[in-house]
């Protein structure tokens, strides 16, 4: 059993609350409605710097105290944000150099959010002064459950290119490399004659003529991520010094399209991992992306319960087409996060704004008020979440499979001059996650530092950059019996973005028993065909297809599971298996193309058979998610039907949401969710 | 009978004339050719600042006087432009700060036109000095018919972001709001903590991190439009002070894709509304856009005759593919403008330039000279226009239908963070205009300030921003018997871009008898189906389809004309009708999606039936435009056949263009136009 | 017989060698491997400024001398680059103004290459000092075969917009025009009122409001090209002053998509024309583009042998999808360059970089080492090239057809405000080149200054800008018997971008016997149909189709070969022929649209029949390239089969590559190449 550090009970059901946007008459309706909806915690203060410090050193905490007092009286706890995401306009006016400078040298203007340089001394001085005052005012307030530093740190201001940021970057480089020679070696400045004589000669990687030094850019990404963590730490240290017992966190943005901060490093700095997650509306199966991101968040939390700080009741406002959720979709989303380890689920925001840039972002109380589908569903959902109180503190069932995920490797895939623009690290990982999800198989998404040898199988998908240390760890796990599945463009470069020479994938080719001579990426829309050999009769398809990529590879100690049937690569290995790595080792599989979903399902199915990976439960139906949370003496099977057809799950126990008891075959209506307290945990 | 203020006779047929681009030999051919083509007025001086003021305070008016004298001798009047659109290079060199600064802070460079800051004191000082000198020189010239201030004001320099513009913007805000608190309220600065303490802290909405404060951007659009009008007024005041009897105007750009200036406000400042109109070549039915824009221009002119200052004989030069007009197309275009209220039609330009950025813009005299289709058609057209002299001073027949059009609402639809990028205000309006056009129904396109109660029907299409005042006026008209047709995303926000709460469309939901809970925009390319209910058997289609948008709505006092048949909205109202708003009121119709053209035609047909809207004439054939101009004692039916098939119009009278007399059924050849002086007006 | 100036034997087989990127252990393997591959020359020093001048005035030439000594000992000669493409970082730090400023005023940053202003005094001072030192050190080294100035000059820094560049531009204009009045006339500043009073008032054509003065932009392109040539000349003069006997060159980039430098002018400044050529991977028939560019390069060299300085063994790294070459494709590419006149073929680069922006650019020694397809093919190719030694010094067989190619005309097509964005000068030329290539017909691609009357036929394709002088020369050649084929949008403007008035194509309409009234470009994806008349029964198709463009044209003295069948142009001439221009003249053909490939093949076939153009050899099969090199007493027929089917060539002689002798019908396997020393040359 694990426990998160919040002074609250059951599974938290909450929302971000911005009373300062509303008149008092409207505010007076809020708390009764929150009680009706079953809200147990709200986030306050996120954008309130200007309302709390109305002029330099002039504070107004009264309104916030009044709100907190009333929430406390209603039994609702508070996640109190330090309002440092959006400095007030008087401060920008006094310190114009505080604003962000973009890659082309433009200092950005007013009217948006988070427009401050992360290296600005003025920003830090004022922000930390306010954080101290806030902690003194509210650190002992009985409603206070947790501090929330800033908001979505680095969402818009990770990369600042001003001279102050340049100076900080140089200092960071000095500390990383010590001597300029070591930097020159790491950055490969011998290429294109870029040798530096002195750290003082180095700038951030501003707009330039053409392809830019990849290691220079990579280090700027590392530096910029570190800056955000340092900003967090500075606030946290002040909060801890004044209110040492209150936990501190900030809301991450673990989402398919955001890669700017290394949350793998950041997670060690928070008392509780908290995440914001929004669906990409254009993705018709966005529940798959949600499942992957929730597993990533659980991985950051080292499998301890985490907090979903923000999601939406329906549409957002920042996508090209902001698709509303269909009836039941919010409920499935919320419960899917809980299924994958969240012990609290909150919405942005409580009441839909009447003005401002996010007024078309859905909320618990819509513009149309409480006589709405959204409100009705939210109230029902609040009741459902309350019924799950006993789930709190359990964790995801031990997964047999791990996918290794690394932010630095992600950054490295975004550098200039790669074989094809069609490669996407997150797509590669998610494809395999989805293939496993469809089989009901639980997956841990783990950082490079994780212990891999405890897993039956490890997946390395598109992990372009791989340190010697990680490679050694993978090899070690395989030699000790773990089965390994590797996809193309993994293990190509070391941590300085230098290619592992001698044949790709340099870091793993011995283990895989293959040697790739050459990448042969495909044209846009082009596909490649493969023929399955006789070696693995369990593979469900005879012919496989891929896109994006192919390779010219040779087997050394592996054998081919499938060979290319296209002219240029005729008969060459496409998918390979090395049966056993060493006397007691697992098998090692390599896929040299981006397999189409049915082809990937066939290969992953065979891999699971060989590695003896078992699903959480047997399902009849498709698009059904099953996953288990387990405590010391009990277990809960979550089953979510994302399809418009009825499905059945083989399990026994009592549905916490309805109270129904089942002895084996549990029906699951279209779009429905069940949380089964299992009979025989 | 109305009259425009020009000292000219009949319908003007003219062109912009830039003799300073040509040698004297070529110039000597111009006036004889103008006489051959029936040209009665030319615009002079548009880009001549540098030719008239060759250095600071050094003037050369002789060449212009010579041209004007010769035109006068030939009976051709002059529309004299103040050449303030393009300051001379010596002035830019002396005042580099006079150049435009764009949103990213780049001060723009040489080689193009209109590159000056509208708040530049240096620009104004020099421009007004020249205007005064020009008025003194030519204010009493007998050829002078009208002054033409600048050229296409704000076409490229509406939005300047320099510090001088910033200062002007602050001053404008002070005048609008008085106190900073009122600005904070209007701008919703409580959102994202953007409270301002002082007007001095406010900048123009420059490039920023992400979504930008919508009210801030909206006010900058208002300010920038006001600046252009102020620049016009400053010139006009000088012209009037020196030559009080000469009318003054400037050429608007009423076109589907240009929204930067509020011509609804600007129109009150000119003595005669003048417009430039160019087809969008990529639009295969651009005659529909022309009809809509001509109706908009007539609306700006409050139904008085107006002047088409520029259109083209064939292709333009600034589109990606500059499609030439087909034979007869220029004639149809020109006469369509007259049909919709123009008492003068002019071309840009007289003679096609041999050099410069517009040399591939067609003209009356092409590069190839007068042995050309274009010249032949222009000469024939000049003769046709001359035959329409008696039409001058009549106005469009009183329309039964008004479409409310508002520039500020257009700007508001262009702000950040809206439900879908696929919504287009001008598309929404034009779709309904086209459906009415296809039925031969005249439409007034009117500003919010218009008297709506005089119309049988009022259309509110995608009018996102709606003041309380306009909403009251619409409701009042409906209660007095006007029928109302409203389409989705109308009446959503007030003039500060604050949402009307309680259910969309907040400004009109009581009148419509519906309450929209939630927008449910569609994916790109997605469509939605609707089933027509039994209530309106006159609707020509059983099943309707829409795209872009759908909504979750409930009827309060309305009934459904059609309901959604797609799963997520199954059976919910899609198109509603409230039969009568109050005891003597009209009906109120609401369409919650972007209907496909046949579906819209079916619904608009039924609406017209209920509202008893009649066509200008009965037509057999499709793609035929019919519209009537009417004077005190006579009327003219214009019939334009845009199709490649013969058509017939039920009317009686004499065709001014051919002299033929008809007693009932008038044949209209493919591509032909008739202007019937009606027997029984 | 011609000879190139290199102190080497046979056909050069080489690569760029960057030992400074590698440790000594790796370097020690290089020379033995080069010998194995048959490498006879390497380029050294390209990016070595920072390694040779480690700080201001501190030189280290030892490592370079050691490498050159060892190469010499192995019999490998050196093409020594002046490393001025990439100045060292200490110099940028000392002279920040040395960096490029782009069109929006952004001074560009670090991390890439060639980021220096071509007008920078600091750059030139330091670069020339280093060049002098290098020449003194190595000018008499026995390995040195040729100097190579900079690298791909102007690839990224042709256009700098800083104040220093502005000053140089003004000086260039002063020299070109003498008086400001002549500039005003040439630039057409009468349009949009842009008269300049003084050269000092002129700026480079920076980012501006809309369409920009075309002549202003054209002159900036001329100036910028001249700057690059001046930079070359400055280096060359120093090299020649110190080592007068060593030839000097630089690597051009004659490629379909690069137009920034006027190589037609530049070619006169080099001792040996050298080119870099890379395939555009997205083009499935990129061998056609290669053939055209090789012919262009040969044209620059005035039909003397030239040097392919760079091409790739397989994929490059800078395209969106970097497609690998298929087996045999490198061999075909390399031999195709030799077939079209190269006496040396080199690769970028010897060893694939392990780091930096180009690490995924293929090389002779790949990341995977020498147990690879690429290495094996390169070694075999080295042997093949060695067998071609006797070809050295022969030149392309005298072509009967010339295509006139002009860089200034290309720039002119890229200016603002043209009829359609779909027109592409290089596509027009290449379409006709391909149609001739498919018939086995050799083509000279010649500059305007070439003697045209020696050709049986001259092609003018999309040559938008044409001086009076060129027009006169074309007319003169036709009157003396040369046949002329002209395609649309040729001969439209003079050298100042002023339209030739009176009907298009003004410069050639008398000769062609046509007069174009108006351009009628087509919509995207639209096509136009034509009917072939009875006049030319030899045309292989009855109906032709075109896209992009059509015209309204009249025949004056020509007759129609095909007429338009679309409504707007019904029956109007589309393709015309004037049988004989004058008593002894050739025929003059005009094509007014962009013909689809089969239609163009039909028309070009008929043109060749009339003009009596003969192929290099008769071929049975398609996608087969045949071309002949000829010496004083011998000839070599190159036959390259780009198809997957066997083909046959009617020829007799001995295949230099295999030693096989043939007496008439030579088989050519799929993908194979033969070089036949012909029996009866």
Domain ranges for chain A, please list them: 42-272, 401-611, 619-678
Average pLDDT, chain A: 96
- Chain B: give the shortest CA distance to residue A664, in Å: 32
CATH code at A619-678: 2.60.40.1180
ipTM: 0.95
Residue B625 designated active-site? no
Q: State the pLDDT at residue C680.
A: 65
Backbone angles phi, psi at C467, to 5 degrees: -75, 160
Contact residues, C window 564-623, toward A, CB-based 8 Å cutoff: none
Looking at the predicted structure, is the pLDDT value of residue B122 above 60?
yes
More confidently predicted of B3 and A582: A582
Q: Which two tokens stand for residue A41?
A: 């915690």
* For chain A, percent of residues with pLDDT exceeding 70: 99
- Evaluate whether C42-272 and C619-678 have a shared fold: no
Give tens-digit pLDDT for B24-44.
Answer: 999 999 999 999 999 999 999
Pick the CATH number of B401-611 from 3.40.1620.10, 3.20.20.70, 2.60.40.10, 3.40.50.880: 3.40.50.880
Q: How far is CA C351 from CA A26, C19, C178, C362, in A?
A: 71, 9, 52, 8
**Chain A contact for C47, CB < 8 A?**
yes
What's the full length of chain C, in residues?
A: 681
Contact residues, B window 482-501, toward A, CB-based 8 Å cutoff: 496-499, 501
- Chain C: give the shortest CA distance to residue B326, in Å: 6
Among B356, B365, B366, pick the best mutation site for testing chain C contact (most C Cβ within 10 A). B356
Q: State the pLDDT at residue A5.
A: 67
Q: Look at residues C386, C276, C371 and name the one whose alpha carbon lies nearest to residue C333.
A: C276
Counting Cβ atoms within 10 Å, is residue C162 exposed (0-12), middle (13-18) or buried (19+)? buried
Cβ-Cβ contacts under 8 Å, A55 against chain B: 197
- Chain C: give the shortest CA distance to residue B84, in Å: 10
Cβ of C50 and A193 within 8 Å?
Answer: yes
Distance from CA of residue C385 to its chain's centroid? 23
**Chain B contact for C211, CB < 8 A?**
yes
**Chain A contact for B201, CB < 8 A?**
yes
DSSP for C294-355 reads HHHHHHHTTTS-EEEEE--SS--SSSSB-PPPPTTHHHHHHHHHHHTTEEEEEES-SB--SS
Among C170, C195, C209, pick the best mutation site for testing chain B contact (most B Cβ within 10 A). C209
DSSP for A233-292 reads HHHHHHHHHH-TTS-EE-EE---TT--SS-HHHHGGG-SS-EEE----TT-TTHHHHHHH
**A681: confidence class by pLDDT, cuts 50, 70, 90:** very low
Touching subunits of A (3+ CB pairs, under 8 Å) are B, C
Contact residues, C window 500-519, toward B, CB-based 8 Å cutoff: 501-504, 506, 515-519
Counting Cβ atoms within 10 Å, is residue A146 exposed (0-12), middle (13-18) or buried (19+)? buried
Nearest chain A residue to B193 by CA: give it: A47
- Chain C: give the shortest CA distance to residue B186, in Å: 32
Q: Which two tokens stand for residue C537?
A: 């029964």
Mean pLDDT of B565-584: 92
**Chain A contact for B191, CB < 8 A?**
yes
Cβ of C109 and A191 within 8 Å?
Answer: no
Among B101, B188, B193, pick the best mutation site for testing chain A contact (most A Cβ within 10 A). B193
Q: Which two tokens stand for residue B315?
A: 């292709």
Mean pLDDT of A504-508: 96
Cβ-Cβ contacts under 8 Å, C366 against chain A: 517-518
Backbone angles phi, psi at C640, to 5 degrees: -125, 120
Q: DSSP code of C241?
A: H
Q: How many CB pairs lie under 8 A apart between chains A and B?
A: 205
Cβ-Cβ contacts under 8 Å, C94 against chain A: none
Q: State the pLDDT at residue C228.
A: 98
Looking at the predicted structure, is the pLDDT value of residue B450 above 50?
yes
The span from the CA of A238 to the CA of B106, in Å, is 42
Q: Which two tokens stand for residue B375?
A: 């010249």
The span from the CA of C257 to the CA of C155, in Å, is 12
- Chain A: give the shortest CA distance to residue C219, in Å: 23
The span from the CA of C237 to the CA of C252, in Å, is 19
Q: Look at residues B577, B464, B592 and name the one whose alpha carbon lies nearest to residue B520.
A: B592
Instruction: Select the residue of A86, A108, A373 nearest B193 (Cβ to Cβ).
Output: A86
Mean pLDDT by 10 residues, chain C (681 residues): 63 97 96 98 97 97 98 97 97 97 97 96 98 98 97 97 98 98 97 94 97 97 98 98 97 96 97 97 92 98 96 97 97 98 97 97 98 98 98 90 98 97 97 98 96 96 98 97 98 98 97 98 96 90 96 97 91 96 94 98 97 96 96 94 97 97 95 92 46
Cβ of A90 and B201 within 8 Å?
Answer: yes
Looking at the predicted structure, is the pLDDT value of residue B1 above 70?
no
Catalytic residue of the set B53, B137, B152, B606 = B152
Q: Which fold has domain A42-272?
A: TIM Barrel (3.20.20)
Residue A646 designated active-site? no
Q: State the pLDDT at residue B681.
A: 45
Give tens-digit pLDDT for A306-333.
Answer: 999 999 999 999 999 999 999 999 999 9
Q: How far is CA A472 from CA A462, A468, B487, B580, in A?
A: 18, 6, 64, 79
Cβ-Cβ contacts under 8 Å, C155 against chain A: 210
- pTM: predicted TM-score of the whole model, two decimal places: 0.97
Cβ-Cβ contacts under 8 Å, A372 against chain B: 517-518
**Chain A contact for C157, CB < 8 A?**
yes
Cβ of C517 and B327 within 8 Å?
Answer: no
Touching subunits of B (3+ CB pairs, under 8 Å) are A, C
The span from the CA of B556 to the CA of A575, in Å, is 62
Give tens-digit pLDDT for A515-558.
Answer: 999 999 999 999 999 999 988 888 988 999 999 999 999 999 99
Q: Look at residues B360, B357, B273 and name the one whose alpha carbon lies nearest to residue B312.
A: B360
Mean pLDDT of B344-365: 97
**Chain B contact for A355, CB < 8 A?**
yes
**Chain A contact for B163, CB < 8 A?**
no
Looking at the predicted structure, is the pLDDT value of residue A52 above 70?
yes
Nearest chain C residue to B22 by CA: give it: C190
Strands C551-555 and C543-547: unpaired
Q: State the pLDDT at residue B8.
A: 67
Q: State the pLDDT at residue A48.
A: 96
Q: State the pLDDT at residue A632.
A: 87
**Chain A contact for B419, CB < 8 A?**
yes
Q: State the pLDDT at residue A680.
A: 64
- Chain A: give the shortest CA distance to residue C455, in Å: 41
């Amino acid at each position: 059993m694990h426990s998160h550090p919040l002074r609250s009970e059951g599974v938290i059901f909450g929302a971000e609350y911005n009373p300062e946007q509303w008149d008092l008459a409207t505010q007076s309706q809020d708390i009764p409605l929150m009680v009706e909806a079953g809200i147990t915690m709200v986030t306050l203060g996120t954008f309130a710097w200007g309302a709390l410090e109305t002029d330099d050193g002039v504070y107004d905490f009264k309104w916030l105290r009044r709100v907190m007092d009333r929430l406390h009286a209603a039994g609702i706890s508070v996640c109190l944000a330090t309002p440092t995401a959006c400095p007030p306009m008087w401060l920008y006016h006094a310190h114009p150099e505080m604003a962000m400078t973009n890659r082309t040298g433009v200092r950005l203007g007013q009217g948006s959010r988070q427009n401050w340089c992360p290296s600005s001394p003025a920003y830090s001085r004022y922000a930390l002064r306010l954080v101290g005052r806030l902690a003194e005012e509210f650190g002992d307030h009985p409603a206070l459950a947790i501090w929330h530093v800033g908001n979505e740190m680095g969402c818009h201001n990770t990369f600042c290119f001003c001279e102050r940021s340049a100076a900080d970057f140089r200092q960071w480089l000095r500390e990383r490399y010590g001597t300029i020679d070591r930097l020159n070696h790491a950055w490969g400045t011998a290429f294109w004659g870029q040798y530096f004589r002195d750290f003082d000669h180095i700038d951030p990687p501003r707009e330039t003529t053409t392809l830019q030094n990849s290691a220079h850019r990579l280090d700027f990404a590392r530096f910029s991520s570190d800056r955000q963590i340092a900003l967090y730490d500075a606030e946290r240290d002040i909060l801890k010094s004044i209110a040492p017992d209150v936990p501190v966190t900030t809301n991450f943005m673990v989402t398919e399209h955001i890669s700017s901060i290394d949350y793998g490093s950041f997670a060690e700095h928070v008392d509780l991992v908290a995440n914001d997650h929004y669906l990409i509306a254009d993705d018709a199966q966005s529940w798959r992306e949600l499942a992957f991101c929730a597993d990533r968040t659980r991985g950051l939390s080292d499998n301890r319960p985490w907090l979903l700080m923000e999601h939406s009741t329906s549409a957002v406002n920042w996508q090209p087409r902001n698709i509303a959720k269909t009836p039941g979709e919010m409920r499935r989303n919320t419960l899917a996060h809980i299924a994958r380890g969240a012990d609290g689920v909150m919405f942005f925001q409580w009441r839909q704004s009447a003005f401002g840039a996010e007024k078309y972002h859905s909320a618990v109380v819509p513009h149309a008020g409480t006589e709405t589908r959204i409100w009705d569903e939210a109230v029902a959902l609040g009741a459902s979440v309350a019924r799950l109180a006993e789930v709190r503190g359990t964790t995801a069932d031990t997964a047999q499979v791990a996918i290794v995920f690394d932010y630095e490797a992600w950054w490295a895939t975004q550098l200039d001059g790669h074989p094809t623009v069609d490669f996407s690290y997150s797509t590669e990982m998610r494809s395999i996650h989805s293939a496993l999800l469809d089989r009901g198989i639980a997956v841990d998404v783990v950082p490079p530092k994780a212990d891999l040898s405890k897993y039956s199988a490890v997946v390395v998908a598109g992990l372009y950059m791989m340190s010697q240390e990680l490679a050694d760890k993978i090899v070690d796990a395989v030699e000790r019996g773990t089965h390994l599945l590797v996809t193309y463009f993994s293990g190509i470069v070391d941590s300085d973005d230098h290619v592992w020479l001698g044949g790709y994938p340099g870091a793993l080719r011995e283990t895989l028993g293959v040697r790739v001579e050459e990448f042969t990426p495909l044209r846009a829309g082009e596909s490649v065909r493969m023929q399955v050999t006789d070696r693995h009769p369990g593979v469900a398809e005879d012919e496989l297809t891929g896109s994006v990529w192919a390779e010219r590879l040779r087997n050394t100690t592996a054998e081919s599971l499938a060979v290319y049937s296209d002219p240029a690569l005729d008969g060459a290995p496409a998918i390979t298996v090395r049966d056993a790595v060493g006397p007691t080792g697992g098998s090692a599989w390599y896929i040299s193309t981006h397999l189409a979903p049915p082809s990937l399902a066939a290969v992953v199915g065979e891999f699971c058979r060989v590695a003896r990976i078992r699903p959480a439960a047997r399902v009849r139906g498709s698009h059904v998610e099953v996953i288990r949370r387990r405590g010391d003496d009990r277990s809960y099977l979550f089953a979510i039907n994302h399809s418009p057809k009825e499905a059945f799950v083989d399990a026994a126990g009592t549905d916490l949401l309805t109270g129904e008891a089942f002895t084996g075959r549990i029906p699951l209506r279209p779009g429905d969710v069940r949380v089964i307290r299992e009979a025989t945990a």
